[in-house]
Amino acid sequence: MTAPYTFKRQGRSRATMMLVPAIWLVLLSARIWLNADLLILGLIAAFTLPAVWDVIKNPSAGLTLTDSDLCWHSGSRNAQITLAEIDKTRFDTRLDFSVRATVILKNRRKIRIPFEATPPHQDFEHALNAKDIKTERHHFSLRQ
């Protein structure tokens, strides 16, 4: 029996907690020194609200690969698949260079692993290969 591969991520990150106040400071400076319109500044500030929500709520996401199961959770969503059900795992590199993972079962059903629960793709691919699960790599495909 080998040690399980585990990945965990929190919604609250140091980068987010530093970046959001910096953006707000720039917007405040633009209002004071450039007399920028409040409507435009408010629209720009609205784009920071999801990041603020993640800092406040601090959702947890993660994935565990054991000798018998692949499990993940993201907020209130979770899943557990036995390794015997898995045919292969597909890694798709998107145009924004993010990598999405999809588990393809032996009955051809596809289950997408939530992005926030997906570990770094190279480590995850090595862990899957160590468990004798086939993997596929697809780069910059617009189709699923």
In total, the chain counts a number of residues equal to 144
Q: What is the CATH number of domain 5-9+60-139?
A: 2.30.29.30
Residue spans per domain, the chain = 5-9+60-139, 11-57
Which pLDDT tens digit goes with each residue over 70-115?
999 988 888 999 889 999 999 988 888 888 999 999 999 999 999 8
Contacts 24+ apart (CB under 8 A), 49-52: 51/16, 51/19, 51/20, 52/20
Q: What is the mean pLDDT of the segment spanning 47-55?
A: 91
Number of Cβ within 10 Å of residue 31's Cβ equals 14
Q: What percent of the chain has pLDDT over 70?
A: 97
Number of Cβ within 10 Å of residue 135's Cβ equals 15
Distance, first Cα to last Cα, the chain: 35
- In the numeric block, the tokens 């086939």 are attached to 134
Return the structure tokens found at 50.
Answer: 């999801």
How far apart are alpha carbons 140 and 92 in whole angstroms?
A: 7
- Rounded to 5 degrees, what are φ and ψ at 93? -85, 120
Check pLDDT > 90 for residue 40: yes
